[in-house]
Amino acid sequence: MDIFAKCDKFTKPNELREMRLYPYGHALESRQDVEVMMEGKRRIMLGSNNYLGLTTNQEIIEAGIHAFEKFGSGCSGSRYLNGTLEMHLELEAELAKFLRKEYALIFSTGFQTNLGIISSIVGPHDYVICDRENHASIYDGCKLSYGKMLRFLHADMEDLERQLQKVPENRGCLIITDGVFSMGGDIANLPEICRLAKKYGAGVMVDDAHGLGVIGEGGRGTASYFGLEDQVDIYMGTFSKSLASLGGYCATSARIGDYIKHTSRPFIFSASITPASCATALAALRYLEAHPELPVRLSEISAYARKRFHEKGVRIIEAETPIVPIYTYDPINTLKKSMEAYDAGVYVNPVLPPACAEGECLLRTSYMATHTKPLIDEATDILAEVLKNDG
């Protein structure tokens, strides 16, 4: 049997291309900013995770250029061998201090960070319990761990307790949740998760990829937002969103962190992040620390966008974050509306199953601290016109 026969039967992308509804891979011709040039036309960017707008910050850009010139283009090895720069250790130390943890460890990507943490901590005889709307990298990390995975209904704390009751007393258990959910923009019920974890003797891990720089004191994330920094055992996050770079991190206690460092195959067998990526993440972290008003500004501009949608009768998912999803329900309708918005000058992300439930497709809009009210006015006017006969 031809193992590649499945490729010939995979026709959906070409069908969407023929319908001019294929939504992926639009090419940028400019910097990642509030306004971009994309395929020859100006578009207002409402589809980026560049929450603090730091990808165009000159101070951060210069830090990356300097590192490129001083250390070259790459490290050409893993952190275990020749791939550790003093700057990697500096970034880890400053991350740990910022997040009020004893220890931080840098991974090459955010996706890899979840793979590396979960597959290290959760063993074949352990249990891992996930919110159903957790990121795909968490699910893949659970698969790599060979542990027993249980799932609870999204944000349903009664269901979480039912799953915890299934765990034998002689087995380890880790509860994993997104802090800010990437599609819906809602914030995990971390107080109740931590209460139940304590009741049943489970550990707690928070994926704060969309929380860092967004919520909490000075942008410290979900645990800080709830005042629960001492009750979350492991944070993970990324540099590719608020910190305007590439890579991921784990922040935890010294004993857990040292164990992950020496047992995590995705960490041990991957090349370290490049000097430029490390330097830009470090510069962005320092910039965030020096400018705690940035997350406040981000919250204000996101609230303004929600207000504009309310005024125009556009049905959105309510949250307190810069992720503001718009209901479009049906997959084809969602693709049509995203393309109409794109043609009219606004880039948004269509959200289709399995990233959402059937019949609950979305246009995911997201905002930056550097967006202005006139830009938000222009974008929401366009989107309201595109969606005026929708649902």
Class of residue 168 by CB neighbours under 10 A (exposed 0-12, middle 13-18, buried 19+): exposed
CATH code at position 39? 3.90.1150.10
**Is the same domain home to 327 and 187?**
no
Tell me, yes or no, whether 48 lies in a domain: yes
Tell me, yes or no, whether 110 lies in a domain: yes
Q: pLDDT, tens digit, for every residue of 344-375?
A: 999 999 999 888 888 889 999 999 999 999 99
Tell me, yes or no, whether 391 lies in a domain: no
Query: Domain ends where: 290, 314, 345?
Result: 290
Mean pLDDT of 274-295: 98
Tell me, yes or no, whether 161 lies in a domain: yes
**Is the same domain home to 122 and 268?**
yes
**Is the same domain home to 74 and 36?**
no
**Is the same domain home to 211 and 132?**
yes
Question: What is the pLDDT at residue 118?
Answer: 98
**Is the same domain home to 240 and 357?**
no
Question: What is the pLDDT at residue 391?
Answer: 56
Task: Let me know if 307 is a catalytic residue.
Answer: no
Structure token digits, residue 2: 């031809």
**Is the same domain home to 76 and 194?**
yes
Distance, in Å, from the CA atom of 143 to the CA atom of 265, rounded to the nearest integer, reads: 14
| pTM for the full predicted model | 0.96
Tell me, yes or no, whether 302 lies in a domain: yes
User: Does residue 371 contact residue 47 with C-beta atoms inside 8 Å?
Assistant: no
Sheet holding 148-152: strands in order across?
103-107, 248-252, 234-238, 203-207, 173-178, 127-131, 148-152
Q: In 3-state terms, what secondary structure has residue 150?
A: strand
| Residue 390 reports pLDDT greater than 80 | no
Q: What percent of the chain has pLDDT over 90?
A: 97
| Residue 57 reports pLDDT greater than 70 | yes
Is residue 267 left, alpha or beta, with left meaning phi > 0 and alpha meaning psi from -120 to 50?
alpha
User: Does residue 211 contact residue 242 with C-beta atoms inside 8 Å?
Assistant: no
Tell me, yes or no, whether 269 lies in a domain: yes
Mean pLDDT of 242-255: 98
Question: What is the pLDDT at residue 308?
Answer: 98
Number of structural domains the chain divides into: 2
Residue closest to 37 by CA, chosen among 47, 27, 46: 27
**Is the same domain home to 80 and 227?**
yes
Distance of CA 245 to the CA centre of its chain: 13
**Which of 21-25, 164-168, 231-235, 356-360 shows the lowest per-residue confidence on average (mean pLDDT)?**
356-360
Q: Which of 101, 148, 241, 337 is catalytic?
A: 241
Tell me, yes or no, whether 356 lies in a domain: yes
Mean pLDDT of the chain: 97
Q: In 3-state terms, what secondary structure has residue 310?
A: helix
**Is the same domain home to 94 and 209?**
yes
Q: pLDDT, tens digit, for every residue of 94-135?
A: 999 999 999 999 999 999 999 999 999 999 999 999 999 999
**Is the same domain home to 13 and 94?**
no
Q: Which of 119, 120, 137, 182 is catalytic?
A: 182
**Is the same domain home to 271 and 307?**
no
Mean pLDDT of 192-219: 98
Query: Domain ends where: 273, 290, 307?
Result: 290
CA dihedral over 224, 225, 226, 232, signed as positive or negative: negative
Domain that holds residue 377: 5-56+292-386
CATH code at position 275? 3.40.640.10
Query: Domain ends where: 290, 319, 334?
Result: 290
**Is the same domain home to 271 and 134?**
yes
Task: Let me know if 125 is a catalytic residue.
Answer: no
Q: pLDDT, tens digit, for every residue of 146-193?
A: 999 999 999 999 999 999 999 999 999 999 999 999 999 999 999 999
**Is the same domain home to 317 and 345?**
yes
Q: Which of 101, 135, 148, 210 is catalytic?
A: 210
Task: Let me know if 154 is a catalytic residue.
Answer: no
